[in-house]
Structure 1
Amino acid sequence: MFWVYILRCADGSYYTGHTDDLERRMGQHATGGFSGYTASRRPLVLVWSQECFTREEALAAERQVKGWSRKKKEAMISGDWDEVSRLAKSKSVHPSTGSG
């Protein structure tokens, strides 16, 4: 199994990642085992995770979520799928600026 997950960092930002061992990865993040984004933003809290069958599925989900707005991520974290859907539609619907 693989996982896609979101961490809330001490500065209030979100980090999205994927892994094949969520417990091990959380330990690595908690101890600063990565020199990247989360190392200087501890402590971290796991706020959302989802199991995936393949690494490709987890990576695709990670990339998708990383492209979302903060509001959309927070709606998903809270389980408000109506709001996730509304935010998805509001981004894709653009009023016409033409005259015809």
Structure 2
Amino acid sequence: MKQPAIYIITNESNTVIYVGVTSNLLQRVFLHKQKLTKGFSKRFNLDKLVHFELYDDMDSAIYREKRLKRWQRSWKERLIKKVNPEWKDLYQELL
């Protein structure tokens, strides 16, 4: 699945939210699930994909990611609940 995307992952209890950008969403989420990405997501056990958006080009995806990172948490929660009200892990849908 090589396509620019932004994604939001969280932990099992939805207490921490991480916004990222990638050119291969399936691979990136797999790395998070296997705890192969060092840093913030591994430290806070973030491996549940709750939102993603696909883009035609990486510049647009990066622009969106930077904007989302500046959003208040409540705004991010509304974005997630709009499409995924139960905060289900969307990874299986990608497979």
Does TM, scored on the shorter chain, surpass 0.5? yes
* Partner residue in 2 for 1:5: 7
Please, which runs of 5 or more residues in structure 1 have no aligned partner? 81-100
Q: Residue 79 of structure 1 aligns to a residue in which SS?
A: helix
Q: Return the alpha-carbon distance in structure 2 between the equivalents of residues 42 and 30 of structure 1.
A: 9
Please, which runs of 5 or more residues in structure 2 have no aligned partner? 84-95
With the length of structure 1 as denominator, give the TM-score of the two structures.
0.73
User: Which of 21, 25, 44 is the equivalent residue of 2:24?
Assistant: 21
* Partner residue in 2 for 1:40: 43
Q: Which has the larger radius of gyration?
A: 1
In the alignment, structure 1 residue 55 sits paired with structure 2 residue 58: yes
Equivalenced residue count is 80
* Letter in structure 2 aligned against 1:36: G
* Partner residue in 1 for 2:33: 30
- Contact 2:16–2:46 at 8 Å: present in 1 too? no
Which stretches of structure 1, 4 residues or longer, exceed 3 Å deviation after superposition?
A: none
**Superposition pairs of residues 57-76 of structure 1, within 5 angstroms:** 57-76=60-79
% identical aligned pairs: 24
Q: CA deviation at 1:9?
A: 2.3
With the length of structure 2 as denominator, give the TM-score of the two structures.
0.77
Q: Residue 36 of structure 2 aligns to a residue in which SS?
A: coil
Question: CA RMSD for the aligned pairs?
Answer: 1.6
- Contact 1:9–1:15 at 8 Å: present in 2 too? no
Q: Could you report, residue by residue, the CA deviation over 1:43-97 in whole angstroms, capped at 9, with x for unpaired residues? A: 52111000011111111110000000010000111118xxxxxxxxxxxxxxxxx
* Partner residue in 2 for 1:91: none
Q: Which has the higher contact order (CA 8 A, sep 6+)?
A: 2
